[in-house]
Amino acid sequence: MTSTLGPVYILADLISSCGTRGAVLVSRGALDTARIDFGLRTDVEVMEFINNGGLESPNHQNTAPWENNPNPTQPVPVDSYGFFSGTLYGYVAFFRGPKGKWVIKSFKKNDRPDPRFLQFQKALSKAGLIK
């Protein structure tokens, strides 16, 4: 079930926690795609990237239950955001684990169309330069 109401967590709390040793875990899958898509090789590099403003213009995409929750009787919401990083359009999903640590579940290129390109495409279409 996806929420359209807005995020459950305060993104700024995750961002600041990325500057605190031991406060954030980066899942193996998130680390693998961060390495491939963004050149971030370690969990420390992912956290430094986030803490140092790497999530440019974050935009809440959705909130959904954690699919791999080992205790489904206690639902854990996951917030996801689209963000820019230079020319890249990224995606980050995270939640607060049962023991209070933040967990970065996903960190990768966004599979949705880059809204910057869509705006450019609309302008070109309106000008009659493309169909």
Question: pTM of the entire structure?
Answer: 0.84
The answer to whether the CB of 115 falls within 8 A of the CB of 80 is: no
Checking if the pLDDT of 124 tops 80, the result is no
Task: Write the CA distances from 17 to 12, 25, 106, 130, integer angstroms.
Answer: 8, 10, 17, 45
pLDDT for position 112: 75
The answer to whether the CB of 66 falls within 8 A of the CB of 76 is: yes
Checking if the pLDDT of 18 tops 70, the result is yes
pLDDT band, residue 116 (cuts 50/70/90) = low
CA 46/CA 31 separation, integer angstroms? 8
How do the domains of the chain map onto residue ranges?
11-126
**Burial status of residue 74 (CB atoms within 10 A of its CB: 0-12, 13-18, 19 or more):** exposed
Checking if the pLDDT of 8 tops 90, the result is yes
Which one, of 100, 110, 92, 111, lies nearest residue 31 by Cα? 92
Which has the higher per-residue pLDDT, 120 or 39?
39
Q: Which residue has the tokens 């807005």?
A: 6
**Model confidence over 31-61: pLDDT tens digits?**
999 999 999 999 999 999 999 999 999 999 9
